[in-house]
Structure formats: C-alpha cells, structure tokens
C-alpha cells in the first residue's frame, strides 16, 4: 500500500476532511507531486492545509508548478514564498502561513496567544491533527 493511499485512508478514518472538495484537492496534489525529489512529510502536511479552500490550493499549485519547472530538489523556494506570503497577510492567514512554514522546517507550532477568528482556530487545529496522522504514516514507511 503506497503512502498516498495510506495518507488519504488515515485522514478519512480520522474524519479530517471538511468536505469532499477538501479531500479531492489534497488527493490531486498528493498524486501529482509525490514522486518529485522535494516531496516529504512536511510538504504533505502543507498539502493538507492548502487544500482547505480553492484560494490556498491555487497558491500551492502555483508554487509546486514553479518548483517542477525549475527542477527543484528541495523545498527552499516554497519556504521563501511562504515567508513572503506570511508578511503580506493579515488576520488568521498570517498564522496559516506560519504553520505551513513550521511544517516545512519540521518545527513545532504553538497557537499564538492573540485573538484569532474561530474559523482560523478551527483550520489550524485540524491541520495540527492531520499533521500527527501524516507523521505517523510517514514514520511507518
């Protein structure tokens, strides 16, 4: 059983897809980019997070396309773009990009002690739950 299938299955079992579209976007990213040299568990976690809505999905897709065209071997371009997007964002989007950066660099992420809209809190909490599942799947590999 390949890692794509196991990630999808485990996330589904845990009920971590908000909508069928969320699952479909994640599956599409996973299937398209899992064989590239830059694919790793940090990127997989970001794929889950970016699949939450179409806007973030398109941002992820654009960066991944740039990376494949540039024949990138690592995630440095994604990290750099994430920092720029974080600095340009406000509201809970800023923390979403911080979380993505933490995923890419294997850093711990703590929910900030500032008021965040309930929607943002929910997205971050679910992404952290999904990250634990993804971590388990990759560690079983």
Q: For 37, phi and psi rounded to 5 degrees?
A: -65, -20
Torsional sign, CA 1, 50, 72, 108: negative
* Distances in whole angstroms, Cα of residue 43 to Cα of each of 48, 103, 114, 117: 9, 7, 27, 25
Q: What is the pLDDT of residue 3?
A: 85
Q: What is the pLDDT of residue 119?
A: 92
Local mean pLDDT, 10-residue blocks, the chain (141 residues): 88 96 96 93 96 94 92 90 90 92 92 84 95 94 74
Contact assessment for residue 76 and residue 126, using Cβ atoms and an 8 Å cutoff? no
| DSSP code for 36 | S
C-alpha–C-alpha distance, residues 141 and 136, integer Å: 9
Q: What is the pLDDT of residue 1?
A: 60
pTM: 0.94
C-alpha–C-alpha distance, residues 13 and 56, integer Å: 24
C-alpha–C-alpha distance, residues 52 and 21, integer Å: 8
Tokens at 112, concatenated: 């900030």
């Amino acid at each position: 059983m390949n890692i794509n299938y196991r990630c999808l299955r485990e996330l589904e079992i845990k009920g971590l897809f908000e909508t069928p579209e969320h699952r479909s976007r994640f599956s599409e990213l996973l299937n398209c980019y899992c064989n590239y040299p830059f694919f790793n568990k940090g990127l997989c976690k970001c794929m889950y997070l970016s699949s939450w809505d179409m806007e973030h999905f398109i941002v992820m897709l654009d960066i991944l396309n740039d990376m494949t065209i540039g024949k990138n071997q690592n995630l440095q371009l994604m990290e750099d773009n994430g920092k720029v997007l974080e600095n340009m964002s406000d509201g809970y989007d800023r923390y979403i990009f911080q979380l993505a950066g933490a995923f890419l660099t294997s850093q711990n992420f703590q929910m900030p002690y500032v008021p965040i809209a309930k929607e943002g809190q929910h997205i971050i909490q679910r992404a952290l739950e999904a990250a634990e599942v993804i971590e388990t799947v990759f560690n079983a590999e």
